[in-house]
Structure 1
Amino acid sequence: MNTVPPRISLITVNYNQAPFIQQTIESVLSQGYPNLEYIVIDGGSTDGSVDIIQKYESQLAYWVSEPDEGQYHAINKGFERASGEVLGWINSDDFLLPGCLGALGSIFQSLPDVQWLTSRMLVICSEYGVLQAHSDAGMSGDAYCENVRRGSNFIQQEQTFWRRSLFDKAVGGQIPTRHSHAADMDLWFHFFQHSDCHVVDIPLACLRQRADQRWRHAAGREQDRVLREEHLCDHGLVTQLRRLVYSAGLQNAPVLRSLLRRTLGYSAQKIVMDADGLLSGDPPSWHVNEYKFL
């Protein structure tokens, strides 16, 4: 197997986020990943962000500060310059968690069939500095598109990464921009048409939530609209039965849980570290387990 880890290209976009961007940049660079291409696209900030970015100029593959047409236009500008095999973006008020890039490199290197992945564990940092962790039941294209489990099964962008080959095939290497707040959800729908999403049980990144993030409410409304617009999954009898199960809370009944999971559960793929990787000093190896969840 090739011993050189895959090149990971990460994009950070920023506009007037000086209180947070330094933590974001350091969370990426401090990981010491040996084949990293880190690109920062600033939208012409006037709050001191540029001074912070310039401090790290020697460690960045590219950076620019100039007016743009919004967040997703800026992200696409970054991807146009990216040359990595593995891609992702991290907003300038979120941050990667320790070990993220090393895990990504070894997973994508040892599991060539994995086209994209996300963490099953959502880590949130509140405006008060409090960390919270929430583990979802699982991830699958059917569950995502049906949206039966309201309020869950959403794919967080800061902890989701994919192969360039999937990005090129699904969307021509450009994030769709028809939605001003939910372009990431639109991207996931395109990905699901080519490959299911794998989940890994290690936390990869942290989402920062603040009271002044009004766009999060708009994003939720756009997400619902995208779900209504896309008709990628069957909404027949099985879907209706799942809705009935969730509305009645039957999935939580111990006597029914196993039966319902076998008969109505979603099929999913989980990435698991091989036991030897926990005991040796060598880079970890991974395998994929199939399972069902409700």
Structure 2
Amino acid sequence: MGTDPLVSVVIPSYNHEKYIESAISSVLNQTYKNLELIVIDDGSKDRSLELIRQFKDPRLQVHAQENAGAHATINRGLEMAQGDFLTVLNSDDLYEPERLEICLKRFADNPDLGLVSSWINVIGSEGNLLGVKQGWENMQPWDLGDPDRSFRKTGSFSLNLLSSNYVATTSNMLWTRAVYQAVGGMRDLRFVHDWDYLLRVASQFPCEQVEQPLMRYRIHDSNTIHSNYDWMMFEICWVITANLNRFFGSQLFNKEELSAEITDLDMLYESINFQGNEKLVWLIQNYLTHLTQQGHPSPEEELIHNKTLREFFISKVKKPVEEQAPSRPPVLHRLHSHLKKVKQRMF
């Protein structure tokens, strides 16, 4: 790579006329200038495409398509990308001005890195700051039994991903072309395609987190995660079941002493929370084993592509107990609870 490698930014745009101009501007106004911006409008029904086409910058490419979904739109953009580094920005999020410059310095300092993320400024629908998510250190989506015995004590980027998607969003990932060539694109998931991608990358490549908020992640009522609790919980159970064994023998259970193996087992036990859906996890795991033994070429994808199978597993998601259950999905409930405390301290 040259001293100023090309960065490809992909924005999948869908019905975010309120936010899309800010998203695009946050890319074009980066302090790092050698970039291409690929915006693909995924069949928006509002004025998004009209607003996108008002921008006049030679680094910007605009494409329109019939609605295909987030993961397919992202993958199309990644296939078009020419950059040495690849990244995605959701059309309701924003980059801080120095994001690319600071993240690229991490890669320059450590050429072995495959992916970099950062802390996050969490904002409301109108752009007001709600709090700063500091990776795995705060705003946990669910309780861990004993954090001092969990993966949190390791300070490991990859192992902490097994507890939750603390990176939080597709917008918070910058990775190399070598990673893309090895891992490929996003898989066809509605809620956790970013988490799945992170686990696939982190199991193979060194990754780092910049301890500085370099993007703004927007919380609003139309976030995808609001839409279907059961489907979301199925995908959470699926993503851990489908990816956990990628870490065996390399980052987990890679030591000869039995005591070290027991320590890894204990950390794993304290780090995983399936919200009462352990039976569903057991079912997914055993059916994946069955498909593998039958010689199925892609057993993991079968569970998410086969509508009949997917709906069966979704139907087995355990509903949260009413008096304990938040009105939001647990991932957002914990986040909003923390942000409420943040705002109370602010005022």
Shorter-chain TM-score bucket reads 0.7 to 0.9
Show the counterpart of 2:8.
9
Over aligned residues, Cα RMSD in angstroms?
A: 2.6
- Structure-2 change in CA distance of 1:139 and 1:19 (3 Å): farther
Give matches, 1:98-177, under 5 Å.
98-119=97-118, 121-131=119-129, 132-136=131-135, 137=137, 138-145=155-162, 147=163, 153-171=166-184, 174-177=185-188
Show the counterpart of 2:194.
184
Show the counterpart of 1:237.
262
Secondary structure of 1:55's aligned partner:
coil
Following superposition, the deviation at residue 72 of structure 1 comes to 0.9
Give matches, 1:194-205, under 5 Å.
194-205=204-215
Match of 1:215 among 225, 243, 258: 225
**Conserved in 2, the CA contact under 8 Å of 1:13 and 1:41?**
yes
Show the counterpart of 1:34.
33
Gaps of 5+ in 1: 248-294
Secondary structure of 2:187's aligned partner:
coil
**Conserved in 2, the CA contact under 8 Å of 1:118 and 1:155?**
no
Following superposition, the deviation at residue 152 of structure 1 comes to 6.6
**Conserved in 2, the CA contact under 8 Å of 1:6 and 1:109?**
no
**Conserved in 2, the CA contact under 8 Å of 1:118 and 1:200?**
yes
Following superposition, the deviation at residue 25 of structure 1 comes to 0.4
**TM-score, normalised via structure 2 length:** 0.62
Higher relative helix content: 2
Following superposition, the deviation at residue 123 of structure 1 comes to 1.6
CA distance in 2, matches of 1:55, 1:128: 22
Show the counterpart of 1:289.
none
Letter in 1 for 2:219: Q
CA distance in 2, matches of 1:51, 1:153: 34
**Conserved in 2, the CA contact under 8 Å of 1:5 and 1:105?**
no
CA distance in 1, matches of 2:196, 2:161: 12
Letter in 1 for 2:267: R
CA distance in 2, matches of 1:61, 1:127: 26
1:74 and 2:73 matched: yes
Show the counterpart of 1:63.
62
Which range moved further: 109-118 or 200-209? 109-118
CA distance in 1, matches of 2:167, 2:101: 24
Gaps of 5+ in 2: 138-154, 254-260, 273-347
Deviations 1:216-249 (A, max 9, x none): 56485223331133332448622443367789xx
CA distance in 1, matches of 2:202, 2:270: 25
Letter in 2 for 1:225: W
Deviations 1:118-138 (A, max 9, x none): 11x222111253211121334
Following superposition, the deviation at residue 52 of structure 1 comes to 1.0
Letter in 1 for 2:123: C
Deviations 1:72-113 (A, max 9, x none): 111111111101011110000001012112212333234211
Higher relative strand content: 1
Letter in 2 for 1:192: A
Secondary structure of 2:92's aligned partner:
coil
Which range moved further: 34-43 or 189-198? 189-198
Secondary structure of 2:213's aligned partner:
coil
- Structure-2 change in CA distance of 1:50 and 1:213 (3 Å): same
CA distance in 2, matches of 1:155, 1:195: 19
CA distance in 2, matches of 1:215, 1:53: 25
Following superposition, the deviation at residue 51 of structure 1 comes to 1.6
Letter in 2 for 1:176: R
**TM-score, normalised via structure 1 length:** 0.72
% of aligned pairs identical? 24
CA distance in 1, matches of 2:23, 2:14: 13
Following superposition, the deviation at residue 155 of structure 1 comes to 4.7
